[in-house]
Amino acid sequence: MTATQPRSDTLGDATLGELAQALRGRLIRPDDPDYDEFRSIWNGAHDRKPALIIRCRGVADVLKAVEFARSEGLPLAVRGGGHSIPGFSTVDNGLVLDLSLMNAVHVDPNRRTVTAQGGCLWSDVDAEAQAFGLAVTGGLVSTTGIAGFTLGGGIGWLVRRCGLTCDNLVGADVVTADGRYLHVSEEEHPDLLWALRGGGGNFGVVTSFEFRMHEVGPTVYAGLVFYRGEEADSVLRGFRTAAAGAPDELSMAVNLTTAPPAPFLPEEVHGKPIIAVLGVWSGRPEDGDAATRPFRELAPVVVDLFSPMPYVAMQTLLDPLYPRGMWNYFRSAFFHDVDDASTSALLSAYAQVPNGASELHIHHLGGAMGRIPADATAFGTRDCDFILNVVARTPDAAGYDTAVEWARSTTAALGPNAAAYVNFTGEASADLVRASYPRGTYERLVAVKDRYDPTNMFRLNQNIQPSTGKP
C-alpha cells in the first residue's frame, strides 16, 4: 500500500508546539527519529503515514487529541493494541491516537472485577488477574490489544465457559466525538454499553474497561496434539463428534496448517501439511486428561503436547507463530455444523492453501456464548457452534493477492451468506459489516451511532454509518 506525503507541515509549528506542550504524553511528527517505529502496526500490509501520532498518557491527553482532530478536521485512527487486520489503527495524513502507554490494570479480587486501561494487551491483564487466580476470555495471542478485541466480541479459550469477552464487559469510560467523558454501565448509558459489546470502535475512545472475572487456573490442562495433514477428513469428522459431547470448561480448535521447523515436531513432517488440535480445559486440572482425550485420539498421533500448565503459559504459547510485520488478510465465517458439505469445503481449501504460512482455524463455540440472548449485546452471531477463521499471509507483497483471493473463496465456499466476525474481517466493506449483524441489531447500532457520533468521526473501524449517511 502506498502512502502520500503526511500533512503535519500544513498544520503550523506554533499550533503543534502548543499541542505538544499541553500533552502529558508525546506528540510524534514525521521528522521525529522514531516516527517509523510508532507509525507501524502489526499487519505489515498497511504502510501508512500519519500526519501526527499522539501517545496519550491519560484521559486528559485523549480529550485533547479528540478535540484537536475535530478542530483541525483530521481523520482519526484510534489504536489500542494495533492488531487491526484492515489497518484501522493507522491512517495516511491523519492523527493516530495511540493508547499503548495507558496500560494500567487494577484487580479487585473481592468483587472479582478487573479495570484495565484502553492500551492494555492481553498479556497485561492476564499477568495481573492470574496473581489472584482470575481470568476473562482473552486472545489466543497475548500481544493483541484488549480494546479492539473486546469491542468486536472476543473469542478465546474461555468462550464456552465464560462467554465472549464483551459479555463480561460491565463498565467502561468513553471519550465521545463531542468531547464528553462518560462512564458507561448497566445503569448509566446502557444503550452505549450494549453497543460496546460487539459494535466495535464506532462510538468513542474507550479509555478504560471493567470486566467481570472468573476463577481460572493458575493451572489448566491445555496444549496441542498433531496429526498428519492427510488425516484431515478423519480429524474433522472426529472433531465434530468430540465437540458435540464437550463440557463448557473445554474449548478446542482445529488448525489446518503446515508444520513449522519446530524442535517438538519430528523432522520428517517439517514443511508438510499438519493438523494441530489445540485448546484448554479450565476445570479441575486432574480431570483434564480425560476431558481432552476424545480430541487426542482422532487419528494416529504425530505428537501429543497436552499437559497441565499455567494458564498464562497457554496464553503466550502461540505468540511466536504470529510475528509482527508479515502481510496478513483474515476472513471468517460462522457455521452450524462440521457436516459433509462444510468438511468438503474445508478440505478443498486446505488442499489449495497458497503457501506454508496461511492456514484455517476452526474454533468450537457454543456453551455460555450460545446461551446469551441474541439481543442482549450487539455481538452478531451466537447460534452457530463453529467459526472458521482463515489466516492468509505472506512475508511481504509477493503472493499476497493470491493469498487474499484464497481466503475470500474459502469463506464463500462455506456459504455465500455466512455471517462474518468483525474482528476477523480483513477489509473495510459496508456490505460485510451489515452481513455481520442481524438486521435488528444493525438498526439499533445505527441509532446508538446517531446519538453518540452523528458525524462519523470514529469511522476507521468496521463502520456503522450514521443515518446522516456520513461515510
Ligand X SMILES: Cc1cc2nc3c(=O)[nH]c(=O)nc-3n(C[C@H](O)[C@H](O)[C@H](O)COP(=O)(O)OP(=O)(O)OC[C@H]3O[C@@H](n4cnc5c(N)ncnc54)[C@H](O)[C@@H]3O)c2cc1C
> Which chain residues interact with ligand X by CB under 6 A?
42, 78-85, 88-89, 99, 118, 139-141, 144-145, 147-149, 151-156, 201, 205-206, 322, 423-424, 460-461
The grid coordinates listed for 43 are 499487519
Distance of CA 269 to CAs 50, 65, 364, 365, 436, Å?
A: 44, 51, 26, 30, 38
Q: Which helix (H) or strand (E) holds 13?
A: helix 13-22
Closest to ligand X by CB, 13 vs 188, is 188
Helix (H) / strand (E) containing 239 = helix 232-244
Residue 99, CA distances (Å) to 139, 147, 148 in order: 18, 10, 12
Beta bridge partner(s), residue 107 = 114
E strand intervals along 337-416: 359-364, 386-394
Give 17 or 325: the residue with its C-beta nearer to ligand X. Answer: 325
Q: At what angle do helices 59-72 and 13-22 cross, to 10 degrees?
A: 160
DSSP one-letter code for 145 = B
Shortest Cβ 290–ligand X spacing (Å): 26
Q: Which residues contact 215 (CB under 8 A, 6 or more apart)?
A: 112, 133, 134
Q: How far apart are CA 372 and CA 168, in angstroms?
A: 11
How many other CB atoms are found less than 10 A from the CB of residue 375? Answer: 11
Closest CA to 58 of 190, 177, 175, 186: 175
Residue 301's DSSP bridge partners are 227
CA distance 327 to 207: 29
- Kindly state the DSSP code that residue 121 receives in the 8-state scheme: B
**Residue owning grid cell 471493567:** 210
Q: How far is CA 445 from CA 169, 170, 434, in A?
A: 17, 18, 11
Q: Peptide bond before 285: cis, by omega within 30 degrees of 0? A: no
Cβ-proximal residues to 13 (8 Å cutoff; 6+ apart), any chain = none
Q: Report the distance separating Cα 314 and Cα 366, nearest Å.
A: 21
In the complex, least distance from residue 144 CB atom to ligand X, rounded to whole angstroms: 5
Q: Given 3-state DSSP classes, what are the helix, strand and coil percentages for the chain, each rounded to the nearest 5?
A: 35, 25, 45
Q: State which H helix or E strand residue 445 sits in.
A: helix 439-452
Q: Determine the distance from the C-alpha atom of residue 325 to the mean position of all C-alpha atoms in its chain, rounded to a whole number.
A: 17
Q: Where are the beta strands (DSSP E) in 287-422?
A: 301-304, 307-310, 327-335, 359-364, 386-394
